[in-house]
Amino acid sequence: MKDIDLLLLSGDGVGPEIMESAISLLEKIQSSFKINFNLIEGLIGGASIDAHGLPVTDETLNQASQADSILFGAVGGPKWDSLPPNEKPEKGLLELRSSLGLFANLRPAILFDSSLEASSLKPDIIKDLDMLIVRELTGGIYFGEPRGKKSSSAFNTMIYERHEVERIARVAFDSASLRNKKVCSVDKSNVLEVSEFWREVVIDVSKDYPDIELSHMLVDNAAMQLVKNPKQFDVILSSNLFGDILSDISAMLTGSIGMLPSASLDNRNKGLYEPVHGSAPDIAGQGTVNPIAMILSVGMMFRYSLDQLEISEKIKSAVSNTLNDGYATEDIADKNSKICSTKELTKIIIDHV
């Protein structure tokens, strides 16, 4: 196997801490599986603003286009909150996704048995939870034009082209074909024309997947159902805005947002991999952030972009075994847990790998 070029974008807040966990894991995999990584570090978000005055530079975008895969930490924090929306750290991530054509965001929500008590829901509601949210990532209201803000009003545009809906729908149906063969498409077609259009296109695409069961749900009901009966879902298909919200709800089903990985893929499965939890500036630098979301994101990278399913499964098993042994960071700990720091939990997981 040729050397793999990985771009590491730690970003802000807890980003550098969880990136250290990812690097430690990659070093273990490199020695154990004889895979060579070229680790390239770049700046994004607030770190890039402080260094270059921009949330992402052309140099970083070029590095990303040349890399085989990208590992991303987090962006944002109070230091940059007063900046205009188009200049904030988050703009760097949006530009990165757009420039690379990373249109498909995959966010699995899997509950490990050892984390049952960490969830705010009753164990019988969430035991054996295993679902996937497929979120469209480069269209919709986050990118729609025109947009603007005046002293007396503000406006944004939610727009989707047919090809944008078709390609994300195919990702959802293809994903479901490897799972339990069910897709629930989420929209707001009772009040939004763009959602009515979304539903029509998804139905058209579904004709190519006769073995997949397609259902539709309004987004407000979907939010309620995620809390009421989450195991009814296999694959949820959603637009950019709705997927952003629903995936954070699904994060809490697993006990902590620190448990959820994600993948953002282009049409050739090149991807950017990141934890869902964000920069968490309130705990940055304290050594307490949960590294599991980042470690599982590395696992997703081996599955989707590097075609190394065995390594991906070993990483997932290592996390499960560590949790079963009672080790945890504070966010998922119960009265019987052996509470660890970020580095301690990372080491234990790596030892299991």
Q: What is the pLDDT of residue 348?
A: 98
Q: Do the beta carbons of residue 154 and residue 186 sit within 8 Å?
A: no
Question: CB–CB of 183/214 below 8 Å?
Answer: yes
For this structure, is 209 an active site residue? Answer: no
329, two tokens = 């960071």
Asked about 244 being catalytic, the answer comes back as yes
Query: So what's the pLDDT on residue 239?
Result: 98
Residue 126's pLDDT is 87
At residue 333, the pLDDT reads 85
Write down the pTM of the prediction. Answer: 0.88
What is the dihedral sign for C-alpha 275, 277, 281, 285?
A: negative
Distance between CA atoms of 274 and 200, rounded to whole angstroms? 31
Residues with pLDDT less than 50, the chain: none
Q: Are 107 and 132 in contact (CB under 8 A)?
A: yes
DSSP structural state of residue 52 = H
- The residues near 329 (Cβ < 8 Å, ≥ 6 apart) are 258, 288, 289, 290, 291, 292, 339, 340, 341, 342, 345
pLDDT, tens digit, for every residue of 41-80? 999 999 999 999 999 999 999 999 999 999 999 999 999 9
Using DSSP's 3-state secondary structure scheme, residue 159 falls into coil
Is there a catalytic annotation at residue 128?
A: no
Torsion angle of C-alpha atoms 76, 134, 219, 92, degrees rounded to 10: 20
Task: List the catalytic residue out of 3, 220, 282, 351.
Answer: 220
Distance, in Å, from the CA atom of 284 to the CA atom of 286, rounded to the nearest integer, reads 6
Burial of 124 (0-12, 13-18, 19+ CB in 10 A): exposed
pLDDT for 85 equals 85
Please indicate whether residue 188 is annotated as part of the active site: yes
Query: Which of the following is catalytic: 5, 174, 248, 334?
Result: 248
Active-site choice (160, 244, 304, 331): 244
**CB neighbours of 142 closer than 8 A, spacing ≥ 6?**
94, 240, 241
- Is 204 catalytic? The answer is no
